[in-house]
Chain A
Amino acid sequence: MTAHAIVYAPIGQGTRSEQVVERLSNAIVAGLLHPDEQLPNENELSRLMGVSPVTVREALNTLRARQLIDTRRGRNGGSFVCPVPAQMMHDRHPLRLATPGDLADLGELHCAVIGHSAKLAAQRSTADDHRRLAQEIDQFEAAKAAQARAQADMRCLLLLATHAQSARLANQELEIQAEWAPLVAALYPHGSVHAEMVAAYRRLQAALQAGDDLAGSALALDMISTQTDHLLEHKLRLDATAPPPQQT
């Protein structure tokens, strides 16, 4: 396979505009963006997401048509998130829109990034780093609401990736989290998943503090793999109540 096959490969499912719509729509439906929260303006979105302003405009039009955002003009104008009707929340939840193959595959990438991050973090963490991670895990344990748990979980994972001292791993983790967070948020209303993750984080914490890079890596891989299994099970249950909607 020559370099051309990679360079000229299709950018991904759908056009760029559809990808932007999917990312924002998933975040809104999963409650990661709250009703009345203001989106960054078009230029800012263009810069943040690495797409042209034309693509952003197209995406915002689609989101408006789906009644997920509302645009107000004038001095305090901009695009604002709309409250999501319950039915839409059920039909368009990212867990319903993704195929099991997609979910499993995202899980594999996430395992790779977090597994290696844990290995490096075990080798490269100072006492201060351990303290910081301990604090974040404490906050994850203490979080009660599903959204708060999902966000605290993401903070722990990001911290782990930064403790690997690798900009590429941390940036890749941030990219993965854009998709992972809305998915995982669906799991956290269930107390048992939260308790299981807390236990997994504590075991990981112990391995890191002991400087055991192999155990740390194995535990981290297992943690993400288990989350992926939960996502797949949850999706099966959701799909059993109604067939997955066609992607529009």
Chain B
Amino acid sequence: MNEDAHIDRAHGILDCVVNDARNTAAALAEAAAQILSGQTPTPGSGLRLSADHRRALQTHIQVALQLNPWCNGAGFASFEAHADTDDGYWTLEWWQQEGRSLQHVPLERNQETRRRLDFRAFAWFDQPARRHLPVIEGPYVDYICNGAYTITAAHPVLVRQAFAGVAAVDVLVSTLDRMLLPALRRIGKPALVLNADSRVVMSTAHRIRTGSLWQPQHGDRLIGAPGALRLAVLPAPPSHAAGGHAGQPSLPGLAHSPGS
């Protein structure tokens, strides 16, 4: 039984989801750019969707979800500033997927809520808006949409090089847990999924929690590129058979029932 083979498999699954998320966001952004190609976005901000644009966009959003069952939500976000004020219009065309059912989430209707819980503060909007670059944000608590711990892949929508909005896809950490934990456990050593800030997305290691920041230590194996989600495999915990070490600080062990 090859530990490396199990690590490769787990890493493969992780890589697959991350790449699919990136590509789906990029494809959605491209489709949005085509649909909006007739518009001129206001410099420094986005634009508003006409009814026709919205319908066309919705088709692409629904297809993106249907093609990617792991994807819990997808959509398009934009902000149109009203001159000289803090005010504006928040466009948030968003759909959720649970099992096989797709639902429109009417987030745009209450603009007061959009103003109080402003999505422009999140990296998934801000990075594409300011730097015209795609980004993967997370894990973070998405209190704007699903209220859950989430990872979002976002891509700028550019119309003639002007920023028109952001196309984004969500995967819940709970979904990632279901997809990846069995493979992580089979590795046989404590394993973590880390984001670019070394924040723990998921963990099979004793006392290392989701959401905490992990300092990679000597002996940790890191698999994957540093800028994205990657795998960390920790050294195996000390064997229980090594008696007389009662005072030893505990190394991270596998979170399973003792004696198994």
Interface flag for B12 (CB, 8 Å): no
Decide: A162 and B143 in contact? CB cutoff 8 A.
yes
- Assuming A41-B109, A44-B109, is B211 touching A174 (CB within 8 A)? no
Decide: B140 and A162 in contact? CB cutoff 8 A.
yes
Decide: B149 and A167 in contact? CB cutoff 8 A.
yes
Contacts of B112 in A (CB 8 A): 33, 37
B174 vs chain A, min Cβ distance (A)? 10
B90 vs chain A, min Cβ distance (A)? 14
- A41 and B213 CA atoms in complex are apart in Å by 42
Residues on A facing B (Cβ under 8 Å): 33, 37, 40-41, 44, 48, 120, 123-124, 126, 128, 132, 151, 154-155, 158, 161-162, 164-167, 170-171, 174
Interface flag for B197 (CB, 8 Å): yes
Interface flag for B210 (CB, 8 Å): yes
Decide: B143 and A165 in contact? CB cutoff 8 A.
no
- A120 and B210 CA atoms in complex are apart in Å by 12
Q: A48-B110, A162-B140 given. 17 additional CB < 8 A pairs?
A: A40-B110, A41-B109, A44-B106, A44-B109, A123-B212, A124-B199, A128-B123, A151-B116, A154-B116, A162-B143, A165-B149, A165-B199, A166-B211, A167-B141, A167-B147, A167-B148, A170-B143
- A162 and B142 CA atoms in complex are apart in Å by 9
Contacts of A151 in B (CB 8 A): 116
What number of residue pairs across chains A and B have CB atoms under 8 A from each other? 52
Contacts of B210 in A (CB 8 A): 165
Contacts of A44 in B (CB 8 A): 106, 109-110
Decide: B109 and A126 in contact? CB cutoff 8 A.
no
Interface flag for B121 (CB, 8 Å): yes
Decide: B110 and A162 in contact? CB cutoff 8 A.
no
Decide: A126 and B197 in contact? CB cutoff 8 A.
yes
- A59 and B110 CA atoms in complex are apart in Å by 19
Contacts of A167 in B (CB 8 A): 141, 147-149
Contacts of B143 in A (CB 8 A): 158, 162, 170-171, 174
- Assuming A165-B139, A170-B141, A171-B147, is B211 touching A120 (CB within 8 A)? yes
B216 vs chain A, min Cβ distance (A)? 15
Contacts of B211 in A (CB 8 A): 120, 124, 164-166
Contacts of B110 in A (CB 8 A): 40, 44, 48
Most buried by B among A37, A126, A164: A126
Give B198's nearest chain A residue, CB to CB: A126
Give A174's nearest chain B residue, CB to CB: B143
Contacts of A33 in B (CB 8 A): 112
Give B149's nearest chain A residue, CB to CB: A167
- A123 and B215 CA atoms in complex are apart in Å by 12
Decide: A126 and B213 in contact? CB cutoff 8 A.
yes
Write the B130-173 contact mask toward A (1 if CB under 8 angstroms, else 0). 00000000011101000111000000000000000000000000
Most buried by B among A132, A164, A167, A171: A167
B35 vs chain A, min Cβ distance (A)? 26
- A162 and B123 CA atoms in complex are apart in Å by 14
Closest 4 CB pairs of A and B: A165-B211, A170-B141, A162-B141, A167-B141
Contacts of A161 in B (CB 8 A): 141
Contacts of B141 in A (CB 8 A): 161-162, 165-167, 170-171
- Assuming A41-B109, A165-B141, is B147 touching A124 (CB within 8 A)? no
Contacts of A170 in B (CB 8 A): 141, 143, 147
